[in-house]
Amino acid sequence: MLEKYCIQSPGGMKFPESWKATHCVDMLAGSEERKKISKGDKVLWFTPGWVLYRNLVFQDWDKAKANEHFPQHSGGVILLDGVNFWNSYSEEHPEEVLDYCDWMGIPIMTHAVSSRVICFTMIKIKSGG
């Protein structure tokens, strides 16, 4: 099954060359894939951690700083969701979701991702890390 997502090599599984990840968002969707997902809109890319740990991520931000930063992302937030996080979280915490979106001044939309999550997870498991 993993061959569908990863490359088998003599040293074990590895990522396709086009999957050069420099940060968490790259691990879920590469730059070309994000261009397609955003349809050219300027968006802010989130992973589930940006929602779960928003109080830590934005701990020194007030409403003025949020107003300065978030509205420039006219396409809103796209949450790359490889674990079906958003559906259950938004149902269980609707007030928090509304407060977060209101504070940012932009909506959060979700985009399901899968192949990279499977590949990165399985390589991590097989490498013992």
pLDDT at 1: 41
Say how far apart CA 42 and CA 13 lie, in whole Å. Answer: 34
Name the band, by pLDDT with cuts 50, 70 and 90, for residue 56: very high
pLDDT at 108: 96
Alpha carbons within 13 A on the beta-carbon side of 59: 4
Asked if pLDDT for residue 2 goes beyond 80, the answer is no
Alpha helices in 1-129 (DSSP H): 24-28, 31-38, 48-52, 54-57, 63-69, 85-92, 94-104, 115-126
Q: What is the mean pLDDT of residues 92-102?
A: 96
In this structure, the chain runs to a length of 129
Q: What is the mean pLDDT of residues 113-129?
A: 58
pLDDT at 21: 57
Least confident of 6-10, 69-73, 114-118: 6-10
Closest listed residue to residue 13, CA positions, set 128, 120, 117, 129: 120
pTM above 0.85, yes or no: no
Query: What would the two tokens of residue 54 be?
Result: 């928003």
pLDDT at 34: 86
Closest listed residue to residue 85, CA positions, set 114, 121, 64: 114
Average pLDDT, the chain: 79
Name the band, by pLDDT with cuts 50, 70 and 90, for residue 113: confident
